[in-house]
Chain A
Amino acid sequence: MTSSEPFPPPSGGLQDQPRGNDERALGQAVSSMRVLLQLSVVALIIVVACSNVFLFHQVRLLRRQAAELQAGCLEMAKAVGEYETNTVPLMERFVTDLRKVAERNPDFAATLAKYPLPPPKSTNAAPVTSVRPVSGGTAPLAPATGTRR
């Protein structure tokens, strides 16, 4: 038995004709199956390529939007940080001094009482984040870092 012919033809002339027909039919079937497989692979390649193009555009669009969002976040964070660093301590000192003036001037105390200012702190060395909002839903002079929705 050779490698080229794994199933040697049986000796006998009567069966040669049907065997040749079978081989031809088998060859045609293999050929058509091969064409079918190639067409299927080509179709799959087209589908995957379209998916690749779509994903590539989506990733590019999303990255651009993320970059814009990041720039906006940096800007807002900078503004909030600057407010907390520079403005909040000054506001607290100003409110404390206004309260001192209001203690000596009742008419200004009445004016000041109209605004929902934070309650006075016990020590001056307390951190900025210790400022608590007054009751009633408003949070005047509240630090922006600890706020969650």
Chain B
Amino acid sequence: MSKKITLTGVLVVILLLSAIANVALCVRYVRTVRTAQRLHAVSNRLQVQTTLVVRNRNLMQSVANEASQYAKKNTAMAALVQQYGPLYEQLNLKPSQSAAPKSPTR
């Protein structure tokens, strides 16, 4: 029984292969969309957290500035400001400039 390779057969095989490739690409697309959606949700959550971080840092900067101002007239506060030098550095403030003079506490 001889099999003749007809043009229709070749075309059907090509169509079949294309359909298989199409299904594979669809699966890959759906997976990629899901991954992107998950990443988008994580990104949104992280942006909210980053906003909180920025707000907290601004608040602490204000408090640290008040402490620095108060340290000019209070030695205890001056000592505290000196002690928390790393925090001032993290808040982009300069504790050395706000150090209290060697004057007695009022």
State the A residues within 8 Å of B (CB): 34, 37-38, 41-42, 44-45, 48-49, 51-52, 55-56, 58-59, 62-63, 65-66, 69-70, 72-73, 76-77, 79-80, 83, 86-87, 90-91, 93-95, 97-98, 101, 104-105, 108, 111-112, 115-117, 138-142, 144-145, 147-149
B90 within 8 A of A: yes
Interface residues of B in 17-38 (CB under 8 A from A): 18-19, 21-22, 25-26, 28-29, 32-33, 35-36
* A residues in contact with B90, CB < 8 Å: 86-87, 90
Chain A proximity mask over B89-101: 1 for CB below 8 Å, otherwise 0: 0100000000000
Is A52 a contact of B21 with CB atoms below 8 Å? yes
20 further contact pairs, Cβ within 8 A, besides A45-B15, A55-B29: A45-B14, A56-B25, A59-B25, A62-B33, A62-B36, A66-B36, A70-B39, A87-B87, A94-B64, A94-B80, A94-B84, A98-B63, A104-B76, A105-B70, A112-B66, A115-B59, A140-B56, A141-B59, A144-B52, A145-B49
Q: How far is the CB of A130 from chain B (nearest CB, A)?
A: 16
Q: State A49–B55 Cα separation when bound (angstroms).
A: 52
- A48-B18, A51-B22 are contacts. A116–B52 as well, Cβ < 8 Å? no
Interface residues of B in 41-57 (CB under 8 A from A): 42-50, 52-53, 55-57
Q: How far is the CB of A77 from chain B (nearest CB, A)?
A: 6
- A41-B12, A116-B59 are contacts. A76–B49 as well, Cβ < 8 Å? yes
Size category, B interface: 35 or more
Q: How far is the CB of B58 from chain A (nearest CB, A)?
A: 10
Q: List 17 A-B contacts (CB under 8 A).
A: A38-B7, A41-B8, A41-B12, A48-B21, A48-B22, A55-B26, A59-B32, A73-B42, A76-B49, A80-B49, A83-B57, A87-B87, A90-B87, A91-B56, A98-B67, A101-B74, A108-B74
Is A73 a contact of B39 with CB atoms below 8 Å? yes
Q: How far is the CB of A83 from chain B (nearest CB, A)?
A: 5
Q: State A103–B77 Cα separation when bound (angstroms).
A: 12
Q: State A80–B44 Cα separation when bound (angstroms).
A: 13
Closest 5 CB pairs of A and B: A144-B49, A55-B25, A76-B46, A48-B18, A41-B11
